[in-house]
Structure 1
Amino acid sequence: MSFQGGVLLLLRKTGIEAAMKKYDVILPKKVFLGKDQTIFEQYAKEHIITDLNLAREVLQEIFPDDIPAFDAAMKQHAMYAFNMFCMRKPLFDSYCAWLFPVLFALEKRIDYKKRDRYQKRVFGFLSERLFNVWIYRMHLRTVERNVRFLRDDKSFRNWLWKKINF
């Protein structure tokens, strides 16, 4: 969904279908972290870096061939954020078969229950970074689309409902 020239544009089924004829994955535009900050450094600044180091260790144990992709992705200065994407089901299944064994192993090793509400979201934060690793290693045909944050109030939801249904 995006606003262009004050007009609400939705990524509709026809747009998704057309994009999927050319691309493997529809992604949000990369978030630029700054020329002096890598994905690894940004995680260290905002989160608990031992968690990301543990993710690398688990990846080494489960999918050792993916360590070069992990190391390369962590050196990048932009990342796909928000855990958002559109892809065909077989590719999604492949991603899940790769991601969830890593996350389940991490869940056994990370004591997150005593953390503040923000840092308890550790698995979401890690999965964002791991998604970048997976995209990097898969060499997929990708297209990026804008993501817009919409305010959450009743009048806006009513306005949006009218725009979508009329």
Structure 2
Amino acid sequence: MTDMILYILTHKKFNEKYDSRLYKPLLNGSALLNDDFGYLRDDSGQNISKFNIYYAELTGQYWAWKNSNADIIGFTHYRRWFVRDIRFNKLTKNDILNDLKDNDIILPQKTRVKGSIKENMLRELEKNPEYGVKWEDYVKLGDLLKNKFSEYYDTYIDVLNGRTCYNNNMFICSFELADKYFEWLFNIFNLLKEQIDFSKYPKDNKRVFGFFSEILLTVFVTKHELKIKEHYILLSERKMPLIHILIRRFPIISTLEESVGKIVR
């Protein structure tokens, strides 16, 4: 029998219903919190829980990488869930096993942006310079890849110049594949953390590695030409979740979302 766990990455208590035989809540940054709500904690065993301010949900992913014994491993969020269709049925174990028969990894529906990823980042930074990663640090990431992981550099540039990205740090795959990805990812971050000046980021937005990893996951699956099964993402806190699905596919709809504001949030 295949052992499978989908970790629900969270930093707070939540009330969403789920199959507890498959989905397991994992409290991120639990070393910094007073209550664990009865969830799994990311500060036991090998962990980087106390660095959650820089890694965000990646402290939970690191814990699962170092401490899980599952054959298939996956990550959702307390408010973001893989769903089979627009009826918003959460993925089941059978869904996942069927998907992974012919695919290497399950990922969220690609996010498409207006212009390139780079242009979108620069546009968003101009509107809100206190949110996201400063462009100079994306340059540092590129330089590190060029010098230390050169086989990935061209793909990194292609992703930045492209229009699609796999956001949210959500995926499901074999533990063997996850192990290869995490080994590569955290090796990069262990080198890059010495080059980032975190003091230039506000206290509530130092999660630089959490932003980087969305780009790097896209780089990894692209470089290795993995066979990908995409699924819709349900953002459970939205009043009109279908809008969120459409925005990922048709970026022009984001203009509609901004115009109606609280109606769709």
Q: TM-score, structure 2 length as denominator?
A: 0.53
Letter matched to residue 31 of structure 1:
T
Most deviating of 38-47 and 24-33: 38-47
Letter matched to residue 173 of structure 2:
M
1:54-133 counterparts in 2 under 5 A? 54-133=140-219
**Mind listing any 5+ residue stretches in structure 2 that lack a counterpart?**
1-81, 126-132, 239-265
Letter matched to residue 54 of structure 1:
K
Q: What do the CA deviations read for 1:116-148 (whole angstroms, capped 9, x no partner)?
A: 245311111111111111111010100100011
Residue number among 69, 86, 93 corresponding to 1:13 in the alignment: 93
Which structure's relative contact order is higher, taking Cα pairs within 8 Å and 6+ residues apart?
1
Count of residues paired in the alignment:
149
Equivalence for 2:119? 41
CA distance in 2 between counterparts of 1:3 and 1:137 reads 27
CA distance in 1 between counterparts of 2:84 and 2:150 reads 42
Greater strand percent: which structure?
Answer: 2
Contact 1:39 1:129 in 2 (8 A): no
Structure 2 residue 2 is matched with structure 1 residue 2: no
Letter matched to residue 24 of structure 1:
D
Structure 2 residue 102 is matched with structure 1 residue 22: yes
Provide the secondary structure at the position in 2 that maps to 1:127: helix
Contact 2:85 2:232 in 1 (8 A): no
**Mind listing any 5+ residue stretches in structure 1 that lack a counterpart?**
153-166
List structure 1 segments (4+ residues) > 4 angstroms apart after TM superposition.
none
Greater helix percent: which structure?
Answer: 1
Contact 1:112 1:119 in 2 (8 A): no
